[in-house]
Amino acid sequence: MLALELLAPARTADIGIAAIDCGADAVYIAGPSFGARAAAGNSIEDISRLCTYAHKFGVRIYATVNTIIYENELREAELLVEDLARAGVDALIVQDPAVIDMAHKHGLIVHASTQCAIRTAPKARFTESLGYGRLVLERQLSLEQIRAIREAVNTELEFFVHGALCVCYSGQCYLSEYLTGRSANRGECAQACRSRYDLMDASGRILVRDKALLSLKDYNLLHRLEDLAAAGVCSFKIEGRLKSEAYVRNVVTAYNEALDSLIARNPGKYRRASFGRVTGGFVPDLEKTFNRGYTELFIDGTRGEWSSMDAPTHLGEYVGEVARLTRDGILLKSSAVTLANGDGFAFLSGPEVIGFRADVADGLSIRCRYPEGLKPGTRLYRNISAQFQKLSDASKPVREVSVNLRVAAGLEELKVNAQTEDGRTFEMSFDTSGFQDAKDRERMISIIRGQLSKRSSHYSFNVSGVDGTSYPFLPAAFLNGIRREMASALDGMPVKALPLYNGAISNIPAPQELSYKANIANSRDRAFYTAHGAEKMEDAYELSHRPEAELMRSKYCVRHELGLCPRQDKNNKPEPLYLLNAGKKLRLDFHCAECEMTVTAVRRPE
């Protein structure tokens, strides 16, 4: 039976705990350094606290050590890996091969980060041969490409299913470094893809003004989990290590329900990778959390409308069109949603997204001090649902590990046999000689069932049978004490967590020549690749800043998004176009045979 894993992001340990409570089977989080989101670092103490909580449910914790590492940082990285191992993490997510030996030295499994740019079967085979236990695949892949990789390797496959999308193939974007000196491979991406540009053709004619031409919508594969599982993906990853707790709770809850439904439809084929049933809480709604509009990108091997060039930030749910403005606020022509006091709204005013809050919202009326730029005919969106926010904050789910109990009652002792859903078993005996014989045996059996079939700590006890020929009269306080003792006993027994796949090093040779796209940043990387057969290696872009370097390559195509693709109209030619922003000029080239677009710097007049 294949274990399926819902992998959640955590900016902090507390957000990680919230994700676990909502059903995550694993959480990925950064330590104090070397994470690909520099603003999302955590102390070793906090990571240890998260591990302790997670392991109660067999949930795994993956620490991100997925930046490239400079020569003078190797010792610091080694000490970090040692600290993370001591904190109890289950695996490291890694880009720089120098970290592989560090991890193995401390008994840690390594997962190949999406920054490793794994998008073909040969690249997957080579990466697997380096000793990785899991490959985190490139996001811009189709199901067919994922299946080809699955057939080529034995290691586990992880795939992003929700959240922000990088327009470039992951790990090979050098645009931020070129424009700002902030490297995406160092966790400092300036998100140049969300910036606004003018688009110019070779003749100097401006085709588009002031649009976020490289900005993609957000990923949403909520309804494609079964397809991904069938293609060989075992871990479904949610993006968002900079997102709020409310965002993580909403998204994890939605995908937890979808994954449970998938497993219920395929009994005996799939199971969850951790333990504990989630109960209670709010009804999730992905439209009510941050998104730039949703896309399934290239999952079916076809192109759609991927761009969020008009609004590279969160607009929210469409509400309706403004009919007129009054002294008190706004009247709508109609409303697609039910409004509430305190709702937040947004609209587009030229290239800007303008937001405001309602004091009172009822029906088609919004009483507020509305901002400049709002006018009749404006399309209005709700980016904060006060009612949903209040409900999700107040109604948090509870996660419980189920424990089956069989009770044997007698006038001298009461025996309890327990078995948890993860397979822990024990027997406990309790002295009942001081209690009188129960006159109503059926009622006593009912009391035993009722008092023991409750929750203690994070355990949900259920009595499946009560045996005996004589029953003492046991007060509720005594039975409650039994339940607490059993919870304490279980806390002292390690959860029988499912094992992670551990990779093995094999002898697949590296390419003889490795370009700057291999992100080689230190002497250990060079020694590593030399040992695998590489003969010529370029330094990482961050070290060399090659003027001719390709800054970005993507399946996304500006020509296609604007209806200028030669395949859409033979009169269109795949000639270069240019992005202009703040005195910088970037060249777009279109490689129609591969159906890819590249971005390079223009450093001199052409």
Place 239 in a pLDDT band, splitting at 50, 70 and 90.
very high
pTM as predicted: 0.95
Same fold yes or no, 2-165+216-274 and 315-394: no
Measure the CA–CA gap between 386 and 397, rounded to whole angstroms. Answer: 19
**What CATH number has the domain spanning 2-165+216-274?**
3.20.20.70
State pLDDT tens for residues 115-160.
Answer: 999 999 999 999 999 999 999 999 999 999 999 999 999 999 999 9
- The answer to whether residue 55 scores a pLDDT higher than 70 is yes
State pLDDT tens for residues 551-564.
Answer: 999 999 999 999 99
* Residue 360 burial (CB count, 10 A): 15
The least confident of 34-43, 130-139, 358-367 is: 34-43
Calculate what percentage of the chain has a pLDDT beyond 70: 99
Give φ, ψ of 105 to 5 degrees.
-60, -30
CATH-assigned architecture of domain 315-394: Beta Barrel (2.40)
Rg of the chain (C-alpha set)? 28
- The answer to whether residue 489 scores a pLDDT higher than 60 is yes
Q: What is the mean pLDDT of residues 186-201?
A: 94
* Residue 174 burial (CB count, 10 A): 26
User: What average pLDDT is seen over the chain?
Assistant: 94
Measure the CA–CA gap between 43 and 348, rounded to whole angstroms. Answer: 40
Q: What 3-state DSSP class applies to 604?
A: coil
Domain residue spans of the chain: 2-165+216-274, 315-394, 400-491
Place 605 in a pLDDT band, splitting at 50, 70 and 90.
low
Residues 6+ apart with CB under 8 A from 471: 409, 410, 411, 437, 438, 441, 444, 445, 448
State pLDDT tens for residues 460-478.
Answer: 999 999 998 889 999 999 9
- Tell me what pLDDT residue 1 has: 86
Q: What is the mean pLDDT of residues 382-406?
A: 94
- The answer to whether residue 38 scores a pLDDT higher than 70 is no
**Secondary structure (DSSP) of 339-374:** --TT-EEEEEETTEEEEEE-SEEETTEEES-PPTT-
3 state SS for 284-308: CCHHHCCCCCEECCCCCCCCCCCEC
Higher-scoring residue by pLDDT: 420, 574? 420
State pLDDT tens for residues 511-552.
Answer: 999 999 999 999 999 999 999 999 999 999 999 998 889 999
3 state SS for 129-186: HECCCEEECCCCCCHHHHHHHHHHCCCEEEEEEEECCCCCCCCCCCHHHHHHCCCHHH
End-to-end CA distance of the chain: 59
- Tell me what pLDDT residue 426 has: 94
CA angle 62, 245, 17 (to 5 degrees): 45
State pLDDT tens for residues 226-235.
Answer: 999 999 999 9
- The answer to whether residue 67 scores a pLDDT higher than 80 is yes
Cα distances (Å, whole numbers) of residue 80 to 102, 141, 331, 524: 10, 33, 57, 17
Measure the CA–CA gap between 224 and 250, rounded to whole angstroms. Answer: 18
Place 225 in a pLDDT band, splitting at 50, 70 and 90.
very high
Higher-scoring residue by pLDDT: 505, 555? 555
* Residue 444 burial (CB count, 10 A): 20
Q: Which residue has the tokens 């008994």?
A: 107
Measure the CA–CA gap between 93 and 114, rounded to whole angstroms. Answer: 9
- Tell me what pLDDT residue 606 has: 47
- Secondary element (H or E) of residue 274: none
* Residue 72 burial (CB count, 10 A): 8
- Tell me what pLDDT residue 325 has: 94
**Tokens linked to 101:** 């030996």
Measure the CA–CA gap between 20 and 57, rounded to whole angstroms. Answer: 9
Q: What is the mean pLDDT of residues 405-411?
A: 94
Q: What is the mean pLDDT of residues 177-189?
A: 92
